[in-house]
Amino acid sequence: MRIQITTLSLRWHRWLGWTGGLGLFVFAVSGMLHPIMTWTGPKPVTHRPPTAAIAGTAVTQLAHWLNQSDIAHARLVKLVPTHTGLAIQITQDPDQPRHYINLDTGQKLPESTDAEYAVWLARHYTGLSDAPVASIGMQRQFDSAYPWVNRLLPVYRITLDHDPPTTVFIDTELGALASITTPWKTRLQGVFRALHTWQWLDRFNQTRIVLMSGLLLSLIGLSLSGIGLIVGLRRRTIPLRRRLHRSLSIVVWIPLLMFSSSGFYHLLHHGLYPPMPERILAEPMAIASIPTPTAHQSQSPLSSISLIQGPDHQLLYRLDSGTQNPAEYVSHRGTETPISDATLVEFYANRYMNHAPIMNIKRLTRFSPLYDFRNKRLPVFQFTYADRHLFIDPKTGTLVEQLARADRYERLVFSSLHKWNFLTPWTGRPVRDALMISVLLISIISTGLGFWLLLKR
């Protein structure tokens, strides 16, 4: 029996040597580029957006200036710290520049304010306060400089005249840094996407899936047949190059199976199952002629104020102190309400899901494999249904993301087996990345020895 397994393993290992080895070489070399981009790419000086202490009287000012404006409807209204001081940010169309009203004077700021705010945020995150702006525009689709992993669109694309030129992608609704890159990182990103995800075949998706599946299945078969040889062949005297190939393969066969099997699962899942729709904004609010509430008396300064629409089209001011204390809600008439974040987001969830039964509700204050850093928003509420998860931002009522049950399993597998995120709490990201690169380097050396052995047959 052992001889039969060994003979079969040897036959398959030789048959799959070239295709499996080619797949290993391509995916291992490109896989190493990801941590290298992290190590050598530009890093922001801070990940936190600008903050400002907001007095409770700002609620009255916000309502008063909205009444004085000519804006009748909006999807999002909130106070933000800007380069001109505190301002009311009004989003009517998320694909167009936002409007701003100075909180102190009630003056409607110029249409260029959204772009100027984006530049101010870019300098805040990079620390390049004196760098001239080389170019600015709207990024409305993904590319090598701003790949799909960043999720947010549209964003401002701002290039600062620095050495090297630094391009920053800013979402002004969140006041968030979506991404940061340099020409070096963009080139590496382009090579990574070409070799690791084969984005150059995106227009021929079925062909891309078939070709990549062939290489990944060859790599899986190569690893399994190699284990059959390691277990079955017990020669004491073998040539040095075979002994070295065998020893290196013993070290990396489990990680290779983790990478290749999770990569194959990831490829099939995203290639065959379209993603669920995301980022559904709350309904437009009628904000003309709303009553002006009395000033809110707060024991501590507020960190944010937003105007949102609750049940029965009731307008509510969400007052957040930025501490562990729950946010308070004040009606547009100035009276406090019994509504909380939990009850309000449940109202939104019921509207989005047509009152489908909710299995569980959880408030998330950290990113996780199911809800990762690409979404940029925290805290959010996670709603679990029989067939999906919903993630809703309590500050705006936005449905940030929804995951089908199949998405949940794929994300957990990819996070654990492909990205090795289970190591991060114990080793930190730099050590985890170094371990992954070490494994990939050993795999490449073992592949080179394998090619040599095939040529010497």
Residue 28: the pLDDT is 93
How far apart are the C-alpha atoms of 36 and 434, rounded to whole Å?
A: 10
**Reported confidence tier of residue 222, pLDDT bands at 50, 70, 90:** confident
How far apart are the C-alpha atoms of 252 and 446, rounded to whole Å?
A: 9
**Residue 141 per-residue DSSP state:** S
Pair 126, 249 in one domain: no
Pair 103, 157 in one domain: yes
Please report whether residue 77 resides in a domain. yes
**Reported confidence tier of residue 178, pLDDT bands at 50, 70, 90:** very high
Nearest 10 degrees: CA dihedral of 140, 146, 151, 154?
Answer: -20
Please report whether residue 343 resides in a domain. no
Residue 123: the pLDDT is 96
Please report whether residue 283 resides in a domain. no
Residue 170 contacts residue 158 (beta carbons within 8 Å): yes
**Residue 414 per-residue DSSP state:** I
- CA distances to 127, 132, 153 from 163, rounded to whole Å, are 13, 12, 27
Pair 269, 313 in one domain: no
Pair 240, 107 in one domain: no
**Residue 93 per-residue DSSP state:** -
Pair 109, 20 in one domain: no
Range list of β-strands (E), 83-144: 85-91, 99-102, 133-139
Please report whether residue 350 resides in a domain. no
Residue 240: the pLDDT is 74
Residue 43: the pLDDT is 92
User: What token pair was written down for 350?
Assistant: 């019921």
How far apart are the C-alpha atoms of 326 and 342, rounded to whole Å?
A: 10
Which pTM was predicted? Answer: 0.87
Residue 235 has pLDDT above 80, yes or no: no
pLDDT digits (tens, 9 = 90+) for 140-177: 998 888 988 888 889 999 999 998 999 999 999 999 99
What residue type is assigned to position 423 of the chain? Answer: L
User: What token pair was written down for 385?
Assistant: 């249904």
Residue 227 has pLDDT above 80, yes or no: no
Residue 453 has pLDDT above 70, yes or no: yes
Burial of 95 (0-12, 13-18, 19+ CB in 10 A): exposed
Exposure class string for 353-379: b at 16+ Cβ within 10 A, else e: beeeeeeeeeeeeeeeebbeeebbbee
Report the length, in residues, of the chain.
457
Pair 59, 176 in one domain: yes
pLDDT digits (tens, 9 = 90+) for 397-438: 888 888 888 888 888 899 999 999 889 888 888 999 999 999
Pair 126, 172 in one domain: yes
Pair 32, 55 in one domain: no
**Reported confidence tier of residue 297, pLDDT bands at 50, 70, 90:** low
Residue 328: the pLDDT is 85
Residue 11: the pLDDT is 72
Residue 261: the pLDDT is 93
Please report whether residue 17 resides in a domain. yes
Pair 161, 232 in one domain: no
How far apart are the C-alpha atoms of 144 and 199, rounded to whole Å?
A: 10
Closest C-alpha among 332, 209, 216, 340 to residue 273: 209
Total of domains in the chain: 2
How far apart are the C-alpha atoms of 53 and 302, rounded to whole Å?
A: 6
pLDDT digits (tens, 9 = 90+) for 305-360: 898 888 888 888 888 887 677 888 887 665 667 788 888 999 999 988 888 999 99
Q: Which residue has the higher pLDDT, 1 or 206?
A: 206
Please report whether residue 115 resides in a domain. yes
pLDDT digits (tens, 9 = 90+) for 361-411: 999 988 888 888 888 888 899 999 998 899 999 888 888 888 888 888 888
Pairing between β-strand 85-91 and β-strand 315-320 as defined by DSSP bridges: unpaired
Neighbours of 3 (CB within 10 A): 8
Within 13 A of 136's CA, how many CA atoms are on the CB side? 15
Pair 26, 96 in one domain: no
Exposure class string for 75-86: b at 16+ Cβ within 10 A, else e: bbbbbbbbebeb
pLDDT digits (tens, 9 = 90+) for 96-126: 999 999 999 999 999 999 999 999 999 999 9
- Domain holding 242, by residue range, is 2-41+192-276+420-456
pLDDT digits (tens, 9 = 90+) for 9-28: 667 767 777 888 899 999 99
Residue 184: the pLDDT is 93
How far apart are the C-alpha atoms of 164 and 40, rounded to whole Å?
A: 12
Pair 142, 198 in one domain: no
Please report whether residue 342 resides in a domain. no
Within 13 A of 449's CA, how many CA atoms are on the CB side? 17
**Reported confidence tier of residue 4, pLDDT bands at 50, 70, 90:** low
Please report whether residue 223 resides in a domain. yes
Average pLDDT, the chain: 86
How far apart are the C-alpha atoms of 80 and 114, rounded to whole Å?
A: 12
pLDDT digits (tens, 9 = 90+) for 237-296: 677 777 787 788 888 888 999 999 999 999 998 877 766 656 677 778 887 666 666 655
What residue type is assigned to position 308 of the chain? Answer: I
Mean pLDDT of 218-233: 78
Residue 419 contacts residue 263 (beta carbons within 8 Å): no
What residue type is assigned to position 248 of the chain? Answer: L
Burial of 129 (0-12, 13-18, 19+ CB in 10 A): exposed
Pair 130, 264 in one domain: no
How far apart are the C-alpha atoms of 122 and 194, rounded to whole Å?
A: 29
pLDDT digits (tens, 9 = 90+) for 179-217: 999 999 999 999 999 999 998 888 888 899 999 999 999
User: What token pair was written down for 171?
Assistant: 């979402």
Residue 122: the pLDDT is 96
Residue 141 contacts residue 108 (beta carbons within 8 Å): no
